[in-house]
Structure 1
Amino acid sequence: MKLNIDVADFINSRRISPYQWMILVITTLIAAVDGLDVAIISYLIPSLSHDWGLPKAAFGQVIGAGLFGVAIGALTVGPLSDRKGRKTVILLALALCAIGTFGCAWSHSILEMTAWRFITGLGLGAALPNATTILAEYSPERHRARLIAVMFVGFSLGAASAGFAAGWLLLLIGWHGMLVLGGVLPTLCALLVWAVLPESARFLVVKGAPAERVARILSRIGQLQTGHDIRFTLPELQGVQHSSIAGLFKGGLGLGSALLWLAYFMGLLVYYLLTSWLPSLIVQTGQPIAMAAVVSAMLLVGASTGTLLMGWLMDKVRPTLIVAAGFVFGSLLLVHVGRGLDSFLELEVCVFFAGFFVSGALSSMNTLAAVFYPTQSRASGVSWMLGIGRFGGILGAMGGGWLLGAGWDISRIFMALAVPTLLAGLALGFKCLRYREVHERAAGDVVGAH
């Protein structure tokens, strides 16, 4: 007797199993390693500037090269997973991260470091969207936002750990040792992924993999009926003829894709300017580098808190509305900082809440993309949003160097950053009005237009 099993319904109808918790742990580790590698270079700029006798603004090209690599990695290597598999691309991405970071550790000039940072960026650009995708495809729909939020707390904590580690280890092992550590971690993570992480069951169904292979994976999530000739299906596959990239614009999804890209572009412009240059801006106020590193890390601690709260709310209220509100509140906070603060303690508190609203909303956008696209386009949808947005990150990282060189202080920069933050909130607000959300759908994975 032939038994058809809907993979999406199989996952959605069951409690989260220990096997799915393990997938969450591994993808969170991937995100943490990604976050550390993204942030580490910004904490090393003051030391590199001193050792190489170059102005801090000169390292804007190193940061920009890394972000350009992230964009290229997301736009090219990321969509490869919709053809070759999520796990395969994650392994490739982690290998590129390790090779590039080791290369940076043994660089002797800014040109060498720029080239190696670009290679690192290629890996960073491919790792995160594919980790997001594989977690989304193993998460029950009712818990998906919260689980992805937990994963992105790993990213924020990884980035924050770069700041805390810099404040503690930089004097002991120097920038060279910090970069070696940054290369060892993705190497270890790749070994764990290779040994333990499964390929996405949804992807295997899309690609027509043998039912026995899918059954072995799903049997670790819940009990399968035996004694039947099992066929695994996904309702969203009916009538689908387009490629993964074309799927970002089919079925009324084009406008939503553009709005996601605009919001993420603006959000990353703000995020990367702050994470890349906030330590240098704080040093400019007369604070020591150790204090600047710790205060800058508060941005990422705030991001972790904001991501968790928003993830919880997104499973209960319209997700896009929650993220849009985060950006709007973040813009108001940036204006408050731009008007001037009375104490360093107040700056610490404001940096924390800037992370809470702005970075929390930015991390939550990965959930919006993951639930917006169907399986055959999901990795491409997430990675293209991340890739397009990274050009905003490039503008923010390099623009911070230009503004620093022009003598802008921390107040003027925060005031200016309120504008793109507000634009991100407005773009998502319009998307919220235009599209139904995950809670309003009767079936399937595709978000429909009103």
Structure 2
Amino acid sequence: MASMDTEGTGGLLDATPMHWRQWVVVVLCIALNALDGFDVLSISFAAPGIAAEWGIDRGVLGIVLSMELLGMALGSVLIGNLADRIGRRPTILACLALMVAGMGLSATAQDVTFLSVTRLATGLGIGGMISATSAMVAEFSNARHRSMNMVLNIAGYSAGAILGGLVAAALLERTGDWRSVFLFGAGATLAILPLLFFFLPESIDSLMARRPANALDRVNRTLRHLGRDPLAGLPEPVTGAVKPSPIALFQGGHTRITLLLTVAYFAQIMLFYFVQKWVPKIIVDMGHSPAEASRVLVAANIGSLTSAVLIGLASQKLPLRPLVMGSMVAGFFAIALFGSGLSGLGTLSLVVAVAAFCINAGVVGLYPIMGAAFPAPLRAGGIGFVIGVGRGGSAIGPILAGAMFAAGSGLLPVTLAMGAGGLIAALMVWLLVRRN
């Protein structure tokens, strides 16, 4: 896996072993990503109960399911840029507050419009959170552990979805009320806030890049906490470096790379969120209970979590791009098998888990591919653009599936249409490899 460079610290944390406070920062960011995983999928756990109580059809439900995904796309671009201007720590705290408010208000919703607004707000917080925590993990890791810590941070999303799914299934069995899922998410998100106040410092990279009036004092305070010697002064800022921007990504030879990776991420994430958002409702429509449907989604996220860890390990020994392309193609066939008319909860859970394993391997594998494809001066901007624009697929996937269901399409045509996203993504990666 390509290593993630951190510029601005001058390698202050790269060559030395990680202090326990650095590990705490990484663990906190992984925990925040786990909360993101539950908060995003909370609407999936609640969807069958919402549809039954309000009597809404699949087309309307598809729009509701996509609202926080749209918010995530906006948040990753808009709030991610805010983190560069005001700092990682305040951005993370603000995003957490927005997530708590969005989850809590979702539990009070009485109609589709209000619920859509609260889910959009929750998604804005989640999108900004993912951008800020990804930067924090990279900037508080040393060179040896940076790549694996980034993979584990991504895997935290699936871990949160698994644990949250088990809790959601228990809540739905006990209360029968979909609102309990949102209330639990709001409480769990709020509970981590005190830990962030005490154990999450500002990033040294961010302080050096922004250079507020007290930057040197804050940098040295963090260095002392990490067992490092303080600095006599801040290093001179890098001059003449190309700054990431959407314009630079479409100049010279970068246009083709940007377009191929954006289409690949868009198509693959569309398939990923079709599984995450529609599986519970599809399983309920097959005659199973909402609690059983939640457990099937848990199986899917076990597959996702497993693939995130294994793709990180495998990429250090084997060529990454063939692994990613093979996973994308395998995901198409697995999701097509799910739509072929299978019966039996155990069989469905297994097939969904395999599909999620393959599909998420394609998603996670794109991150190091992006890191290697863009040159260092454009790496952060390039990855941010691909993810921000590509996340539009996370919103379009559930909406398109809902529209197809509402128009009378059966499960197999819908899964084939959604699965085609994996084939498109694999083609884009193959074109990228061929050009290189």
Shorter-normalised TM range: 0.7 to 0.9
Once the two structures are overlaid, the 10-residue window that deviates more, 200-209 or 286-295, is: 200-209
Match of 1:148 in 2: 150
Conserved? CA contact 1:74–1:384, under 8 Å? no
Tell me the secondary structure at the aligned position of residue 13 of structure 2. helix
C-alpha distance in 2 between matches for 1:341 and 1:406: 22
Match of 1:178 in 2: 181
1:96 aligns with 2:98: yes
**Relative to structure 1, is the Cα distance of residues 106 and 220 closer, same or farther in structure 2, using a 3 angstrom cutoff?**
same
Letter in 1 for 2:26: L
Conserved? CA contact 1:39–1:159, under 8 Å? yes
Which ranges of structure 1 fall in alignment gaps of 5 or more residues? 436-450
1:191 aligns with 2:194: yes
Superposition pairs of residues 370-389 of structure 1, within 5 angstroms: 380-389=381-390
Conserved? CA contact 1:42–1:277, under 8 Å? yes
CA positional deviation for 1:266: 0.8
Match of 1:48 in 2: 50
Match of 1:447 in 2: none
Superposition pairs of residues 24-63 of structure 1, within 5 angstroms: 24-63=26-65
Match of 1:443 in 2: none
Tell me the secondary structure at the aligned position of residue 11 of structure 2. helix
Once the two structures are overlaid, the 10-residue window that deviates more, 113-122 or 323-332, is: 323-332
C-alpha distance in 1 between matches for 2:118 and 2:75: 14
Conserved? CA contact 1:304–1:360, under 8 Å? no
C-alpha distance in 2 between matches for 1:320 and 1:197: 35
C-alpha distance in 2 between matches for 1:423 and 1:325: 12
Letter in 1 for 2:155: V
Once the two structures are overlaid, the 10-residue window that deviates more, 240-249 or 307-316, is: 240-249
Once the two structures are overlaid, the 10-residue window that deviates more, 38-47 or 66-75, is: 66-75
**Relative to structure 1, is the Cα distance of residues 221 and 247 closer, same or farther in structure 2, using a 3 angstrom cutoff?**
farther
Match of 1:216 in 2: 221
Match of 1:124 in 2: 126
Superposition pairs of residues 261-340 of structure 1, within 5 angstroms: 261-338=262-339
Conserved? CA contact 1:263–1:425, under 8 Å? yes
Letter in 2 for 1:138: F
Conserved? CA contact 1:281–1:409, under 8 Å? no
**Relative to structure 1, is the Cα distance of residues 176 and 342 closer, same or farther in structure 2, using a 3 angstrom cutoff?**
closer
CA positional deviation for 1:85: 1.5
Match of 2:3 in 1: none
C-alpha distance in 1 between matches for 2:165 and 2:410: 21
CA positional deviation for 1:222: 5.2
CA positional deviation for 1:126: 0.9
Match of 2:114 in 1: 112
CA positional deviation for 1:270: 0.6
Identity of aligned residues (%): 27
Give me the CA root mean square deviation. 2.9
C-alpha distance after superposition, 1:78-103 (max 9, x if no partner): 21212222222222211111111111
Once the two structures are overlaid, the 10-residue window that deviates more, 212-221 or 66-75, is: 212-221
Tell me the secondary structure at the aligned position of residue 198 of structure 1. coil
**Relative to structure 1, is the Cα distance of residues 429 and 139 closer, same or farther in structure 2, using a 3 angstrom cutoff?**
farther
C-alpha distance after superposition, 1:81-140 (max 9, x if no partner): 122222222222111111111111111111111111111111111111211111112223
Superposition pairs of residues 382-401 of structure 1, within 5 angstroms: 382-401=383-402
Corresponding residue to 1:204 among 204, 207, 218: 207
Superposition pairs of residues 216-235 of structure 1, within 5 angstroms: 216-221=221-226, 223-224=228-229, 229-232=232-235
C-alpha distance in 2 between matches for 1:64 and 1:266: 15
The alignment covers a number of residue pairs equal to: 427
Which ranges of structure 2 fall in alignment gaps of 5 or more residues? 1-6
Conserved? CA contact 1:14–1:222, under 8 Å? no
Conserved? CA contact 1:82–1:376, under 8 Å? no
Tell me the secondary structure at the aligned position of residue 243 of structure 2. coil
C-alpha distance in 1 between matches for 2:264 and 2:155: 20
Match of 1:166 in 2: 168
C-alpha distance in 1 between matches for 2:278 and 2:358: 19
**Relative to structure 1, is the Cα distance of residues 339 and 105 closer, same or farther in structure 2, using a 3 angstrom cutoff?**
closer
Letter in 2 for 1:361: G
C-alpha distance in 2 between matches for 1:31 and 1:230: 34
Match of 2:139 in 1: 137
Conserved? CA contact 2:57–2:406, under 8 Å? no
C-alpha distance in 2 between matches for 1:320 and 1:254: 20
CA positional deviation for 1:35: 0.8
Conserved? CA contact 1:321–1:432, under 8 Å? no
CA positional deviation for 1:147: 1.0
Letter in 2 for 1:359: N
C-alpha distance in 1 between matches for 2:276 and 2:253: 35
C-alpha distance in 2 between matches for 1:124 and 1:265: 18
Conserved? CA contact 2:340–2:411, under 8 Å? no
**Relative to structure 1, is the Cα distance of residues 153 and 233 closer, same or farther in structure 2, using a 3 angstrom cutoff?**
farther
C-alpha distance after superposition, 1:326-349 (max 9, x if no partner): 323323433444555475433322
C-alpha distance in 2 between matches for 1:183 and 1:94: 10
Once the two structures are overlaid, the 10-residue window that deviates more, 92-101 or 368-377, is: 368-377
Letter in 2 for 1:395: I
C-alpha distance in 2 between matches for 1:330 and 1:313: 18
CA positional deviation for 1:154: 1.4
Match of 1:442 in 2: none
C-alpha distance in 1 between matches for 2:43 and 2:95: 18
C-alpha distance in 1 between matches for 2:386 and 2:92: 17
